[in-house]
Amino acid sequence: MDDLRSTRLTSRTDNALARLAGQVPLLLGLTGLILAFVLLGGLRPDLALLGFLVMVGLVALLPRPVVHLTHTVEVPAIGPARQDVERELLHSMVEALGEPGLVLDSRGAVLHRNGAAARQYPNLQVGRVMTLVMRNPDLVAAIEGSQRSGEPRSFELHETVPSETWDRVMVAPIRRPDRDWFADENRQLLVTFQSLTDLKRVDALRTDFVANASHELRTPLASLIGFIDTLLGPAARDAEAREKFLGIMRGQADRMSRLIDDLLSLSRIEMHQHVRPTGSVDLSGLLREVREGLQIQAKAANLDVVLSLPHTPVAVTGDRGQLYEVFENLIDNAIKYGADGKTVEVTLTAVDRPGLHHMVSIIDHGPGVEPEHVPRMTERFYRIDAEASRRKKGTGLGLAIVKHIVQRHRGQMTIRSKPGEGLRVDVLLP
């Protein structure tokens, strides 16, 4: 019995290997197509490997050629079964791409679309001509050019409706080793879309960041240069003017120093954004320490910081220095923008949310902000009142730093405010 099973297994293995050997041209053609999309279309190597393995598995299931022997004449039987398997093989490869992908016929009509394409472009249904649905000149040129030349074409597709998106579109001929592309009436094209939207947005943020940082540094630097020129010229012998200008220059230099410190802090946080902290921090003790460190600022603002904390230590996993920076920043903001003679309330409570167990709330009773400003308050250099922020020695980076630290700790931060009702910030931590 064991010998019989072994014989059957060996026979099946031999048959599969024979099928693969008989389909070497097909495998080589499809492998070349996959390599073209890895090198030119940005297909991820892991998805390419998955598609190749799917192809090998399906080819192994192809029926072996049936050969009828009549003396010395060999006629391989090629029926519709092989064409069906080839079509299923191609469709499986398109499904494995991970990005939107479509197969077009010689007219440019959709023969097949994967799930990603159906979700992103629901109007591109099977049977519809792609260029009539997506009336984009670059797309028309790419499809027509690839049909005429038999070579891949690519371009960047920028759309603004229903939202602004960017995609790298790749149009490539699906070549079969046994057919001439130009003579094949059933020639097909593969069209894929690689999203560039996130990269474009990151580039835009980087550009804005550099522009804003340059502006923030240029303003105090121009002021310093102006006062230096004055001291070297008209006020060179004026002791009173010299003392006044030196005081202003010191303030501008301090402002530049704070901005550079915040920029460096933000850079360090982003560098380790993917690394989750592993230390243990007593959150109750940390909040008491932050309050003590801000007592001078609170007294100067005629405010009292009121803590509502558990009597026992509350241990959380985190980076103590960064968590200190989070709550120092938030409480300092509440002191700066809270109402004179009021209180700033800081509470620590337990919560039961997926992955989140502790919530620190900082509440001030200041003028509050308009609702349209709230979503943008954590953007770099975003200021509701730029002049008031500079008077209070703000750099416009504080809440951006807080947001990135909370994200590194796998936490969440929410801001709620209404004009005349103050502002509330909730920080939730694991």
pLDDT digits (tens, 9 = 90+) for 82-105: 666 777 888 888 888 889 999 999
Percent of the chain with pLDDT over 90: 27
User: Residue 352: is its pLDDT beyond 80?
Assistant: yes
More confident residue, 369 or 77: 369
CA atoms within 13 A on the CB side of 381: 16
Last residue of a domain, one of 249, 271, 293: 271
pLDDT of residue 425: 93
In the sheet with 188-195, reading across from the earlier edge strand, the strands are 110-113, 101-104, 188-195, 165-174, 153-159
In this structure, the answer to whether residues 231 and 303 fall within a common structural domain is no
pLDDT band at 55 (very low <50, low <70, confident <90, very high): low
- Residue whose C-alpha is closest to residue 383's, from 393, 396, 370: 396
Instruction: Note the pLDDT of residue 7.
Output: 46
172: Cα separation from own chain's centroid: 28
Segment 196-206 mean pLDDT: 79
142 pLDDT more than 90: yes
Residues 346, 396: one domain? yes
Does residue 224 surpass a pLDDT of 80?
A: yes
What's the CA gap between 285 and 55, in Å, rounded? 60
Q: Are residues 235 and 324 in the same domain?
A: no
Per-residue pLDDT at 48: 59
* Confidence at 171, pLDDT banded by 50, 70, 90: very high
Integer Cα distance of 406 and 327 in angstroms: 11
| Share of the chain residues as helix, strand and coil, in percent rounded to the nearest 5 | 50, 20, 30
Instruction: Examine the domain organization and report whether 239 and 357 are in the same domain.
Output: no
| The pLDDT of residue 43 | 58
The band of 51, judged by pLDDT with boundaries at 50, 70 and 90, is: low
My answer on whether 244 and 364 are in the same domain is: no
Using the structure block, give the residue that is written with the tokens 């308009």. 370
DSSP state of 373: G
The answer on pLDDT for 428 being more than 90 is: yes
Percentage of the chain beyond pLDDT 70 is: 75
Asked if 215 and 183 sit in the same domain, the reply is: no
28 shares its domain with 59: yes
Indicate whether 424 and 321 sit together in one domain. Answer: yes
> CB of 191 within 8 A of CB of 170?
yes
**Which pLDDT belongs to residue 74?**
36
CATH of the domain at 425: 3.30.565.10
> Which span out of 130-134, 335-339, 387-391 was modeled with the highest average pLDDT?
130-134
Section 281-295 average pLDDT: 92
Answering whether pTM is above 0.75, one says no
Token pair for 205 = 């943020």
216/307 same-domain check: no
pLDDT greater than 90 at residue 130: yes
Here the CATH number for the domain that contains residue 138 is 3.30.450.20
Examine the fold and report which residue of 233, 252, 271 is the final residue of a domain before the chain moves on.
271
Segment 303-327 mean pLDDT = 90
The tens digit of pLDDT for each residue in 354-363 reads 889 999 999 9
pLDDT over 50 at 69, yes or no? no
CATH number at residue 226: 1.10.287.130
Average pLDDT, stretch 234-252? Answer: 82
Q: Give me the domain span that covers residue 119.
A: 2-68+76-195
Domain boundary among 215, 250, 271: 271
- 3-class DSSP state for residue 367? coil
Same domain for 266 and 285, yes or no, is: no
Average pLDDT, the chain: 79
- Please tell me the distance from the alpha carbon of residue 210 to that of residue 36, in angstroms, as a whole number: 37
Domains: count for the chain: 3
- Dihedral of CA 299/305/311/315: which sign? negative
Verify that 244 and 372 share a domain, yes or no. no
Q: According to the model, what pLDDT value does residue 347 have?
A: 94
232 shares a domain with 186? no
pLDDT at position 67 is 39
Confidence of residue 385 (pLDDT cuts 50, 70, 90): low
Q: What is the pLDDT of residue 20?
A: 54
- The pLDDT of residue 86 is 72
